[in-house]
Amino acid sequence: MSRARRLDPRWFVAPAVFLAVTAIACGEADPADPGGRTETGPASIVVLTGADQRGVPARAPAEAVTVRVLDADGRPAAGSSVAFRPEPGHGSTDPASTVADANGEAATTWTLGATPGAQRLAVSADRAEVTVRADAIDLDAELDALFAPASAAEVDAVRADWAQRNVSAAGVEVELTEELAFGESTATLRVVSHVVAGARHFGAIIVPDGAAPETLPLLMYSHGGDGGVSVDDMDIVTLALGGLSHRFVYAIPSFRSEPLRYAGRSWVSEGPSSHWDYDVDDALALANVVFETTPEVRPDAIHILGGSRGAGVALLAGARDERVDRIVAFFGPTDFFDEWIRVIAWKTALDGPWDLPGLIHLDSTVVQPLVRGTLSTPEARLALVRRSSVLFAADLPTVQVHHGTADFVVPVSQAESLMRTMAAFGRTSPDFEAFIYEGGGHDFLSLAGAIPRAVEFMSQALRPKGNP
């Protein structure tokens, strides 16, 4: 008689354990075994932004450093602890460590070290690591190269660029026509639009009523500031001209990206802003619209009154277009290679632009791109040449300049630069006049006697061209 077989209790194991044992026997990873499990934590780090930047020493470059942490399967390793460690002398980060978000991303602001040169930042998550590199520039050396005196070749290159620009009257449309009270008489206001370099530009034209054909000279008002222009801004001009006000046709350009305003309405010119440079294209194109659509205007000349930014535009227009005959320039920039501009460039490179007209544009299109390396020094220098009427002084028409010694928006050094250059050419009154007002600021009314002088000067435009 055989004995009953006893079963070994070791065979009574849970199916999951049995499967695990089988998997181990077959060579598969045991998730409980640290030496053989599949990695689910950080395995690699990808730099998304902030690699290979240029920046100013002791300042943060333009982009934050952003990384994505991935596991061994290339999936975001959410929740990973990420550390940012600059090498010694290579600055600091804020934060120094953080946790990756649901996309596996983490970011920090890297303030570069104070010494110019190559700098390195180690980014790590567990055993994964990557190095981010940056270059801290020598700001003084960069500015020395940027503000070295302009060469004749650079001036000629800008002249060649100007010669290729098309400022003809194109796509002209009349947006509004209205009678306007004009001193003791009336005038017709037209708001017009036209196309310059593919962008629609708006301007106003004012024509005193009753004038015979080709009897009124064109007087353009070139405005200051960044906020556009209003037709009402002409009130001070016509008030100053008094009894002469009805003897001119007036043109009021807005500049691209800025509004022209009248009676609660606004028309915004298209295109990106281009302080001083393409402002001139907008102004000259509007002058061509006036000549083609206004029978009363004399076709022989353009006369321009400008203040601040608008004075800089007026002088550049005079250098570019031989039809510009007479300019009154109140406290405008003339020389972008002046020490004042260098100080602005240095300060904006460090701390961002001042809240002054045109400086945000100059910072965003010249200074910061130069710092980042996206704009070369030769390109940046040409941008300054294009804005410096003093470099084209030989091409300027008859000019009268007004500037105060206490002007803290555009310093008097800008007028003095033009004065020295014109004196070197032997240009004196009445061809060139400059009045410096002790204690005068950035305001027409602070320059005692300036308005009567300007009116007398501009009244010479009423004489037929060529007559003394």
Cis-peptide into 95, omega within 30 deg: yes
Q: For the whole model, what pTM was predicted?
A: 0.86
**Average confidence score pLDDT of the chain:** 91
Provide the 3-class DSSP secondary structure of residue 80.
coil
What confidence category does residue 255 fall into, taking pLDDT thresholds of 50, 70 and 90? very high
Tokens of 111: 């303030």
Cα gap 159→381, rounded to integer Å: 14
User: 3.40.50.1820, 3.20.20.100, 3.30.160.40, 3.40.50.2300: which CATH number matches 168-336+387-462?
Assistant: 3.40.50.1820
Cα gap 314→402, rounded to integer Å: 13
Q: What is the pLDDT of residue 352?
A: 80
Cα gap 152→157, rounded to integer Å: 9
Domain map of the chain by residue range?
Answer: 44-137, 168-336+387-462
Q: What is the pLDDT of residue 4?
A: 41
User: 2.40.40.20, 3.60.40.10, 2.60.40.10, 1.10.10.10: which CATH number matches 44-137?
Assistant: 2.60.40.10
Q: What is the pLDDT of residue 465?
A: 63
**What is the pLDDT averaged over residues 74-99?**
97
H/E element holding 230? Answer: strand 229-230
Tokens of 327: 């300019």
CA distances from 255 to 63, 203, 224, 267, 329 (A): 31, 9, 10, 11, 18
N-term to C-term CA, the chain: 148
Nearest in space to 284 (alpha carbons), one of 327, 245, 237, 316: 316
H/E element holding 18? Answer: helix 15-25
**CA angle centred on 413, ends 410 and 416, rounded to 5°:** 125
Contact 128, 83 (CB under 8 A): no
Question: In the 8-state DSSP scheme, what is residue 76?
Answer: B
**Chain segment 266-279, per-residue pLDDT in tens:** 999 999 999 999 99
Cα gap 54→436, rounded to integer Å: 42
Q: What is the pLDDT of residue 274?
A: 93
What confidence category does residue 19 fall into, taking pLDDT thresholds of 50, 70 and 90? very low
